[in-house]
């Protein structure tokens, strides 16, 4: 099992450009999450999904959109990138019941100039 994978690993954008970050998991997890990690801020939840075709806002959703068309994939979109969105983005997934363990991907480092 590959676990949780993210593409790309690194990306540099200019202000106003758009991009999509892809997250894939092969553990048949129902729940998936997108976080951003900034220095001294820990991990903050952007959006999450409790199942295929469903999405919901997290703590810091502004400027991002998500889609979960397939159970194994969770896409994070930036329609018009801003320098404040420079961050490391992590995707995670978990089962819906039982333990709380969220499995994380390796992260995508995004720089917006």
The least distance separating another protein from the CB of residue 51, rounded to whole angstroms, comes to 10
C-alpha span between 54 and 82 (Å, rounded): 26
The least distance separating another protein from the CB of residue 88, rounded to whole angstroms, comes to 9
User: Quick check: 67 and 56 in contact, CB under 8 A?
Assistant: no
Residues lying near another protein in the complex (CB under 8 A): 4, 31, 33, 40-45, 48, 50, 56, 58-60, 90, 92, 94, 96-97, 99-107
The least distance separating another protein from the CB of residue 35, rounded to whole angstroms, comes to 8
Q: Which is nearer to another protein, 17 or 22 (CB)?
A: 22
Q: Is residue 61 classed as helix, strand or coil in its secondary structure?
A: coil
C-alpha span between 24 and 5 (Å, rounded): 5
């Amino acid at each position: 099992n590959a676990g949780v994978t993210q593409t790309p690993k690194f990306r540099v954008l200019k202000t106003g450009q758009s991009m999509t970050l892809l997250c894939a998991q092969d553990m048949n997890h129902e729940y998936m999450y997108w976080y951003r990690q900034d220095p001294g801020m820990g991990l903050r939840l952007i959006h999450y999904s409790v199942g295929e075709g469903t999405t919901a806002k997290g703590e810091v959703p502004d400027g991002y959109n998500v889609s979960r068309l397939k159970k194994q994939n969770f896409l994070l979109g930036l329609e018009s990138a801003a320098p404040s969105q420079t961050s490391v983005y992590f995707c995670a997934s978990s089962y819906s019941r039982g333990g709380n363990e969220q499995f994380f991907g390796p992260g995508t480092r995004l720089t917006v100039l």
